[in-house]
Amino acid sequence: MSVGLIIAMPLRQWGLIDASMDNDASVETVNGNRRRADLARSIRRAGWDQIANWTPGVPGSGSWPPPDEIVKPKLTTAQWLFTIDVLECWAAAADRTGRHEAAAQERELQKLILFRLQAHGVRLPRACAGNAGPEQPRTSQS
């Protein structure tokens, strides 16, 4: 397993990731891609491990923090790249259903993650380096 990278963001943004992973895990469980579903669940768990049961100043002791609270999820590079892919998948779905603001938020978060990965020195796959758009195919990550 590769070393984890922390990318800080407001809980509001992590919530988009959590919801997208929940959606992807559900779809892939039904469609039969168990590895993809398990990867999505592992990303959700990483967030829960850090922020669930939170109370200000007392880690692990209450309810989730407010939406503007900065959280610092630690994921592997493969998990972050998968997150970018899943965000694009659900942004494209939001565009197809007329939820353009939701799509824009997901793509903005994609760009933030890409920028932060590059700042960590991660060499991005070609599709990611060009900020994969809706025309880019989904990729499988192990």
pLDDT at residue 64 in the model = 67
Cβ contacts of residue 82 below 8 Å, gap of 6+? Answer: 39, 40, 43, 141
pLDDT at 130 over 80: no
pLDDT at residue 88 in the model = 95
pLDDT tens by residue, 20-46: 999 999 999 998 889 999 999 999 988
pLDDT at residue 137 in the model = 33
Confidence of residue 134 (pLDDT cuts 50, 70, 90): very low
Q: What are the C-alpha distances in Å from 93 to residues 23, 88, 104, 137?
A: 11, 8, 12, 13
pLDDT at residue 56 in the model = 54
pLDDT at residue 18 in the model = 92
Query: In angstroms, rounded to a whole number, what is the distance separating the alpha carbons of residues 83 and 17?
Result: 7
Confidence of residue 16 (pLDDT cuts 50, 70, 90): very high
pLDDT tens by residue, 54-91: 555 565 556 667 788 888 889 999 999 999 999 999 99
pLDDT at residue 126 in the model = 72
pLDDT at residue 50 in the model = 75
- Tell me what the pLDDT averaged over the chain comes to: 82
